Amino acid sequence: MHSTFGLQRREQTMLLGSIRTFGSYLMLMNRVLARPQRWRVFYRSTIREIFNLGVSSIPIVLLISFFIGAVICIQMKVNVESPWMPKFVVGYATREVLLLEFSSSIMCLILAGKVGSNITSEIGTMRVTQQIDALEIMGVNSANFLILPKISALMFIIPFLVIFSIAAGTAGAYAIGEFTGIMTAEDLTIGLQYEFNPWYIWNSMIKAIVFAFIIASVSSFYGYRVSGGSGDVGKAGTNAVVSSSVLILFSDIILTHILI
């Protein structure tokens, strides 16, 4: 009986903690989404974040997508194709996986680890070194000044990263087909073009924009509320990546149900 009571108490404590955290997140977003005090500074900060967060991620996006596209092509060839199916089904299945899930959802999960931890550590370091307190003393809305450019930059650049991912994954499928001879480029091309639905591209773009907001806002939230020393910054980075990943997966289910 005591153990049951203790379990209920822990569950209530966790629920209350989650509600408080969500409330704190909403209050911070209310400050973040305010009108910038200086538009010129905001534009400069956004451009800088586009390069720091987005352009610097292009090599890893291209590399991962290229090899994943090749692996998907091999897996579809081995496990999906049969004498009863046309040869182009491998290209068709590869296209569907890249468009519907990998290039938007899985790639954003990868970026949540790379970009999210970067955002959390940057803002968390500013918090523990009291740079954020100095901005507040000067009358600057520190949440808006530091976080809004990151959110804007990531929501702008991630759709382009998704497009690069789709292109690199397709190139990987062509490369593995030519290198191993498992299928011809003609069959792969027919499969990639078969019953193509342009809405799937927009589906990936919409999901990418939502996931970009989650990555930037959640990572900034954990970095902004860091208290303590450098060790706490590392813990905040871990919590930010885990929380962002869970929210991306949860949002993926909802968006897939709504958009498709």
Question: Which residues are CB-neighbours of 131 under 8 A, at least 6 positions away?
Answer: none
Residue 133 has pLDDT above 80, yes or no: yes
Q: Is the pLDDT at 48 greater than 90, yes or no?
A: yes
Whether 1 has a pLDDT exceeding 80, the answer reads no
- Would you place residue 6 in the very low, low, confident or very high pLDDT band (cuts 50, 70, 90)? low
> 45 versus 192: which is more confidently predicted?
45
Return the pLDDT at 156. 94
Q: What are phi and psi of 213, to 5 degrees?
A: -65, -40
How much helix, strand and coil, in percent to the nearest 5, is found in the chain?
Answer: 85, 0, 15
Q: Which residue has the higher pLDDT, 190 or 214?
A: 214
Q: Provide the pLDDT confidence category of residue 85 given band limits of 50, 70 and 90.
A: low
Per-residue confidence at 75, pLDDT binned at 50, 70, 90? confident
Residues 6+ apart with CB under 8 A from 44: none
Per-residue pLDDT at 99? 85
